[in-house]
Amino acid sequence: MKKQIIPIVLIIMLSLTSEGQSFWDDVTISAQFAAAHHDKRLIGWSQSYRERIERQNPETWGTWQYGISANKKIYQRGSFTTEIGLGYSLEHMTMIKEVDFCQYQSAAGICHSIAYYTDDYKIHMVQVPVLFSTEVFTNLFVNVYVLPFIDWSKDVRFDGRSGINKTGLNFYSLEVNPGLNYEWNQFRLGLNYRIWQVKKIDRILYSKATVHTNSFEDRIITKNYEAYNPFKLWFSLGYRLGSE
């Protein structure tokens, strides 16, 4: 199903282009940047270890995300519109954290070492944004940005050197981001706040190797998904191609 999402979205976008209308008339190219608080959870670690990690990571912000997408309007009734899109996104985590090196080994491989720390963890993703918006004042829109992400590559680097890479299409997260858009001519400025997300627990960060607890019944070990939601803001700049 994950491999079918991209062609399904493309078919939807193409099928909703009416006869005599250019496909690009209702398409907005959007660049995004997001800033989020560090995920500073250190489950099962001692207080002295937590304090040491906090000294190494005193900053609050440190998870950055960059993206670009093409969104097409697929529905309009009055001032209410719906758009669906397709694009690329890169998330970069910069907090010093232990990672489970064995998550990168093949089923037949042998892992001898798992005590690796990194502050350079990048996740490459496909994004399939869905935007619901309505105009509340002239050129000012209230919106809800629903953002599903599918990761296809995870890269970890150690001390700036080449690290390890894990590939494969996997559900990464689903975000709900209410916010505001301001439109001027064919430009669109956006500010959104992530109010909720569901995310697949990343075993590179949270596994039996990195969660130091006496009980492996901890929810982060036994569950596959969680709704943990560090503070996150999205900023976007879009340009509408063609004409409405």
Q: Is the pTM of this model over 0.85?
A: yes
What's the CA gap between 28 and 6, in Å, rounded? 18
Of 13-27, 136-150, 152-166, 180-194, give the lowest mean pLDDT range. Answer: 13-27
Which is more confident, 218 or 231? 231
What's the CA gap between 209 and 145, in Å, rounded? 35
The tokens of 208 are what? 């039996």
Element (H, E) at 7: helix 5-15
Q: Quick one: average pLDDT of 70-94?
A: 96
> What's the mean per-residue pLDDT of the chain?
86
Nearest to 184 by CA among 224, 239, 227, 233: 239
Asked whether the beta carbons of 87 and 66 are under 8 A apart, the reply is no
What's the CA gap between 194 and 176, in Å, rounded? 6
Residue 170 has pLDDT above 50, yes or no: yes
Nearest to 53 by CA among 4, 2, 117, 106: 117
